[in-house]
């Protein structure tokens, strides 16, 4: 379980990034009404969905990434012999 400490720290960093991205003063910067749009989508909605997608992508990257250093690969599950002889 050596790699869990580093992974926990990375997940904590993503959570802190989420707290900053969804902090009301920062969200208020993008609340300019329907006057400014990105591809027809109001800027506030674009920012919220972009930030949410970014956090999901970062979490998926951190969780699914293999540890550095070529750690041991998990063993393949064994098939049980169901009364058959080789």
35 class by beta-carbon count within 10 Å (0-12 exposed, 13-18 middle, 19+ buried):
exposed
Contacts of 7 by beta carbon, 8 Å cutoff, 6+ apart:
62, 63, 67
Residue 62 contacts residue 11 (beta carbons within 8 Å): yes
pLDDT value at position 66? 77
Digitized pLDDT (tens) for each residue of the chain, 86 residues in all = 556 678 899 999 999 999 999 999 999 999 988 788 888 889 999 999 999 999 999 999 999 987 666 555 666 677 776 666 65
Domain that holds residue 17: 4-64
For residue 53, being part of any structural domain is answered with: yes
The structural domain count of the chain equals 1
For residue 77, being part of any structural domain is answered with: no
pLDDT value at position 77? 74
């Amino acid at each position: 379980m050596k790699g869990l400490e580093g992974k926990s720290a990375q997940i904590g960093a993503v959570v802190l990034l989420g707290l900053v991205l969804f902090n009301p003063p920062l969200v208020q910067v993008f609340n300019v009404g329907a006057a400014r749009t990105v591809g027809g989508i109001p800027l506030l909605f674009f920012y919220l969905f972009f930030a949410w997608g970014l956090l999901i992508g970062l979490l998926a990257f951190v969780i699914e990434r293999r540890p550095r250093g070529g750690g041991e690969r998990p063993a393949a599950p064994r098939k049980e012999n169901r009364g058959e002889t080789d």
